[in-house]
Structures are given as structure tokens and as C-alpha cells.
């Protein structure tokens, strides 16, 4: 007979903190549930009507009691709010140097693409002890990336990027689920996260099918799409330079300033007139419907790398 675990493994750096908050909430709920029912039972016995003619005396109320039952819940709610929001902000942004992987949800599978170019379906290999950032999108409907052992869960939306991160603390294979109903075979949209020692992970990467990296593939799409014709590195083209763009503030014709993250780059490729850079005309054509989600991921990865070390597209016949 298999033992049913009380909870999934705590296999990431944030798992214990998340569990502590949930245990606190559960303890409060059980305590006040028991207190309320015991109080009701006590009052039911003590103040029951003993004869049809009995009339209880009027109770004027108690200010200290009313203050007490207002102050205690307010204090507990404030504790939960501060605790929960602190935990949220601590884990909302991936640390610098995280391993960045693109994930695409599709009825009914998960597709992952590593920076080195390796691709996986319904399985994701990651190294132990290194933060991993997932940049995710959907090809069709809303999905939800959920790994109980890591205590991470995030909606995966069509037409935009969402992200989450985790740092594995245990070697092993952990369940991956879609936690958002996405169609007839939603229950079959499952997979595995395979956590390996760093050396074993590097061996897995080296043992994959040789191919171009995600940035090299993006560089090829960049050239084939003619992006460099307008986006000249020295800023003299019809469009703004993309060299070193990622992570920098971008000033718009509306007077607003936005940060050039993955979502901004994606939107600028598909809907170039949505946010016009100050000093430039809205002449860029839309690439919506011309690029697949995988091609978009590759192009975003390439533009993200510009200004660091420019990846070269792989030449035919060369590794």
C-alpha cells in the first residue's frame, strides 16, 4: 500500500516559506472555527429557555468586548497581509544570472526551449541549486504552469508573456500540471521537471541533438525579416537602435517611459504602433501572423542578448 504524503516535497528555496504561511492560515482557521462552535454550544446550554414564561433580561452590550473582537481580527489580517506581500515581492523577480528558458503551452502539451537550443515536450531538465526563470506564453487558450513541489504556479496567456522562477533544492523528478481548464484533454496536460546535479545537467545538454542556440536562431530570423535595414546599430536608421535595448527605459511619443522587457519587445514586433518611440515615425509593419511562437521566442532572446555578445547565425554545414 502506498503512503499518501501529507504535502508535496519541499523541493525549492521558497517552498518552506510558502508552507509556513499556509500553516499559519490553517491554524488560525481551525482555532477560530473551534472557538466559535464551542462558544455557541456553551451559550446554547447556559442560556437555554427553561420554561415557556421565562423572559431573559436585556443585555446592553460590552464596549471592551466589542473592541477586543475587532482588534484581534484586524491584527491577524494585517499580519497575513504583510507576511504574504513580503513573500510575494521576494519571489516576484528572478535573481540576476538565472537560467532563462522559454516555455510555450499548447493544447495539450508543454514545450520548452533552452538557451543552447535543446527542445523538450512535457519535460524540463534543470540544474540543482541554480535559479531558473521561465518566460511563458500560450499558442491558443489560457493554461497554468503548476509545480506543487516547488510551490510555484502562474497563468500562461495567449498573446503575452508571463514569467516565474524557482531554485530547485532536491535532485529528482517532480510533477508538472496545467492548473487551468483548457479543453477536453486538460487532465492529460501533464509533465515532469527533472532536477539534476550541475555536472549531470551539463552532460544532458551536451548529449542533445547538436543545433543552433536560441539566440543564433533569433539572429537568423532578424536577418531574414530585414530588421537591420531600419534598426541600425549607430541609431541612424528609420527605427531606433536595438543594441543594448533590453532592460533600458524607452521614451515614447506620449511622454511615457516604459522598460524594454520581453513583453515590450514582443508587443513591438506584433503591434509596432502600440508604443511609438519618441523621435520616430510609426512606419514599422506588423509581424503578427508571420512568426510562430517559437520564432518570436528566438527573436526576443536574440534582441535580449544584443549589446552583450552578439550571437552569429549558424552557417550551413558548420556546428
Q: How confident is the model at residue 316 (pLDDT cuts 50, 70, 90)?
A: very low
Give me the number of domains the chain comprises: 2
pLDDT at 59 over 80: no
Digit-coded pLDDT (tens) for 105-131: 999 999 998 888 888 999 999 999 999
Q: What is the pTM of this model?
A: 0.76
Assign residue 137 the CATH number of its domain. Answer: 2.60.40.420
Task: Answer for the pair 161, 263: CB distance below 8 angstroms, yes or no.
Answer: yes
Q: Is residue 301 part of a domain?
A: yes
Q: Tell me: do 218 and 288 sit in the same domain.
A: yes
Task: Answer for the pair 92, 133: CB distance below 8 angstroms, yes or no.
Answer: no
Q: Is residue 112 part of a domain?
A: yes
Q: Tell me: do 138 and 229 sit in the same domain.
A: no
Q: Tell me: do 108 and 189 sit in the same domain.
A: yes
Query: Domain ends where: 206, 225, 253?
Result: 206
CA angle 200, 97, 199 (to 5 degrees): 10
Assign residue 224 the CATH number of its domain. Answer: 1.10.760.10
Query: Domain ends where: 156, 174, 206?
Result: 206
What's residue 288's pLDDT?
84
Cis peptide before 108 (omega within 30 of 0): yes
Residue 78 to residue 127: CA distance in whole angstroms = 38
Residue 155 to residue 136: CA distance in whole angstroms = 9
Residue 151 to residue 148: CA distance in whole angstroms = 5
Residues in the chain: 319
156's grid cell: 500562461
CA 61 vs CA 47, 58, 64, 66, 317: distances in Å = 16, 9, 9, 8, 88
Q: Tell me: do 218 and 179 sit in the same domain.
A: no
Which residue bears the cell 517611459?
257
Task: Give the mean pLDDT of the chain.
Answer: 87
Beta pairing, strands 162-166 & 172-178: unpaired
What's residue 273's pLDDT?
87
Query: Domain ends where: 158, 181, 206?
Result: 206
- Phi then psi for residue 217, to 5 deg, are -65, -40
What's residue 29's pLDDT?
95
Write out the residue range of the structural domain in which residue 106 sits: 99-206
Q: Is residue 139 part of a domain?
A: yes
Task: Answer for the pair 246, 307: CB distance below 8 angstroms, yes or no.
Answer: yes
Closest listed residue to residue 9, CA positions, set 155, 173, 154: 173
Q: Tell me: do 162 and 224 sit in the same domain.
A: no
Digit-coded pLDDT (tens) for 61-81: 788 888 998 999 999 999 999
Amino acid at each position: 500500500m502506498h503512503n499518501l504524503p501529507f504535502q508535496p516535497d519541499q523541493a525549492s528555496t521558497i517552498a518552506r516559506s510558502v508552507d509556513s504561511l499556509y500553516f499559519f492560515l490553517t491554524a488560525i482557521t481551525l482555532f477560530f472555527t473551534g472557538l466559535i462552535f464551542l462558544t455557541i454550544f456553551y451559550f446554547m446550554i447556559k442560556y437555554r429557555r427553561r420554561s415557556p414564561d421565562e423572559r431573559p433580561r436585556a443585555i446592553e452590550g460590552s464596549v471592551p468586548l466589542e473592541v477586543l473582537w475587532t482588534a484581534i481580527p484586524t491584527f491577524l489580517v494585517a499580519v497575513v497581509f504583510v507576511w504574504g506581500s513580503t513573500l510575494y515581492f521576494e519571489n516576484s523577480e528572478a535573481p540576476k544570472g538565472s537560467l532563462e528558458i522559454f516555455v510555450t503551452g499548447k493544447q495539450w502539451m508543454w514545450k520548452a526551449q533552452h538557451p543552447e537550443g535543446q527542445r523538450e515536450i512535457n519535460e524540463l531538465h534543470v540544474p540543482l541549486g541554480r535559479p531558473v526563470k521561465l518566460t511563458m506564453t500560450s499558442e491558443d487558450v489560457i493554461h497554468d504552469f503548476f509545480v506543487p513541489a516547488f510551490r510555484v504556479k502562474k497563468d500562461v496567456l495567449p498573446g503575452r508573456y508571463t514569467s516565474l522562477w524557482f531554485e530547485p533544492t532536491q535532485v529528482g523528478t517532480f510533477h508538472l500540471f496545467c492548473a487551468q481548464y483548457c479543453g477536453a484533454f486538460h487532465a492529460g496536460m501533464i509533465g515532469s521537471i527533472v532536477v539534476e546535479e550541475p555536472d549531470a545537467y551539463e552532460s544532458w545538454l551536451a548529449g542533445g541533438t547538436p543545433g543552433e542556440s536560441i539566440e543564433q536562431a533569433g539572429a537568423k530570423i532578424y536577418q531574414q525579416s530585414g530588421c537591420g535595414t531600419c534598426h541600425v546599430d549607430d541609431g541612424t536608421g528609420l527605427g531606433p537602435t536595438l543594441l543594448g535595448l533590453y532592460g533600458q527605459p524607452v521614451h515614447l511619443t506620449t511622454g511615457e517611459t516604459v522598460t524594454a522587457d520581453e513583453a515590450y519587445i514582443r508587443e513591438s514586433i506584433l503591434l509596432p504602433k502600440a508604443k511609438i518611440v519618441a523621435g520616430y515615425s510609426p512606419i514599422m509593419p506588423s509581424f503578427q501572423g508571420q512568426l510562430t511562437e517559437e520564432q518570436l521566442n528566438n527573436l526576443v532572446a536574440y534582441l535580449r542578448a544584443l549589446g552583450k555578445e552578439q550571437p552569429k547565425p549558424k552557417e550551413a554545414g558548420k556546428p
